[in-house]
């Protein structure tokens, strides 16, 4: 397996739901977007956007319905187009494996992420109408060349209570899964549109103790 920074490690195993679409060109290298559907333990699934370099994989060989195992990093980009969400979250592929269509995804760990980063916004604690506790977090994860990824995370139950007490600047270690969810947004003209949000659903979170004495 390809090795990369261990402060941002993500794995997704899912089914391609459409053919790859051109995303952008960077230093004469073309990148493509691939949507994969990743099953949850329930009957639901998450749709994850994957960015793939033409130098990493034969883009023309990717077919709708095929199952791929993708290892990489969950990254954030600012969307300046005015369309869609301002913050775009993608799984940046560093390794891709074609899996047999007969693979039983429920026997694997199809969606896993590990982040080590810093709280960069005051946590927002809330409860649902059904009394479920939730805390929204924004975590900055350092990347090479002085860049950072800003990853929205959502914690539930006991993790929500714990993370609601975190402070801006706290170094945290997070384990969980990449998640997509739809929500309704009302526009200025009164029209309601359905949008999709991407985040990390936290299964475990801890403060990283400083090694400086």
How far is residue 153's CA from residue 155's CA, in Å, rounded to a whole number? 7
Residue 164 has pLDDT above 60, yes or no: yes
Q: Are residues 27 and 102 in the same domain?
A: yes
What pLDDT is attached to residue 87? 81
Is residue 95 domain-resident? yes
| Burial class (CB within 10 angstroms; exposed 0-12, middle 13-18, buried 19+) of 36 | buried
| CA-closest candidate to residue 93, choices 74, 66, 121, 117 | 74
What pLDDT is attached to residue 114? 97
Radius of gyration from C-alpha coordinates of the chain: 18
Q: Is-contact 36 17, C-beta < 8 A?
A: yes
Q: What would the pLDDT profile of 14-73 be if each residue is shown by its tens digit?
A: 999 999 999 999 999 999 999 999 988 777 899 999 999 999 999 999 999 999 999 999
| CA-closest candidate to residue 155, choices 172, 168, 130 | 172
| Domain residue limits at 120 | 114-207
Half-sphere exposure of 148 (CA within 13 A, CB side): 12
Q: Are residues 137 and 86 in the same domain?
A: no
Q: Are residues 105 and 15 in the same domain?
A: yes
Q: What would the pLDDT profile of 86-124 be if each residue is shown by its tens digit?
A: 788 999 999 999 998 776 665 677 999 999 999 999 999
Q: Are residues 12 and 93 in the same domain?
A: yes
Question: What is the tally of structural domains in the chain?
Answer: 2
Q: Kindly report whether the global pTM for this prediction surpasses the value 0.85.
A: yes
């Amino acid at each position: 397996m390809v090795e990369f920074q261990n402060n941002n490690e993500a794995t997704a195993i899912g089914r391609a739901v459409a053919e790859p679409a051109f995303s952008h060109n960077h230093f004469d290298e073309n990148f493509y977007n691939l949507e994969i559907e990743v099953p949850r333990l329930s009957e639901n699934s998450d749709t994850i956007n994957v960015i793939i370099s033409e130098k990493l994989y034969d883009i023309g060989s990717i077919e709708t319905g095929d199952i791929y195992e993708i290892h990489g990093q969950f990254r954030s980009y600012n969307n300046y187009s005015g369309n869609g969400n301002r913050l775009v979250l993608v799984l940046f592929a560093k390794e891709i494996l074609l899996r047999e269509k007969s693979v039983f995804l429920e026997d694997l760990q199809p969606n896993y992420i590990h982040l080590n980063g810093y709280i960069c916004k005051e946590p927002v604690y809330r409860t649902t109408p059904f009394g479920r506790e939730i805390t929204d977090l924004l975590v900055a994860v350092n990347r090479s060349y002085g860049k950072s990824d800003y990853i929205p995370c959502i914690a539930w139950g006991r993790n929500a209570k714990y993370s609601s007490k975190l402070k801006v600047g706290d170094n945290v270690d997070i384990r969980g899964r990449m998640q997509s969810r739809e929500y309704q947004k009302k526009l200025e003209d009164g029209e309601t549109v359905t949008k999709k949000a991407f985040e990390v659903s936290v299964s475990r979170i801890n403060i990283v103790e400083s090694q400086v004495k």
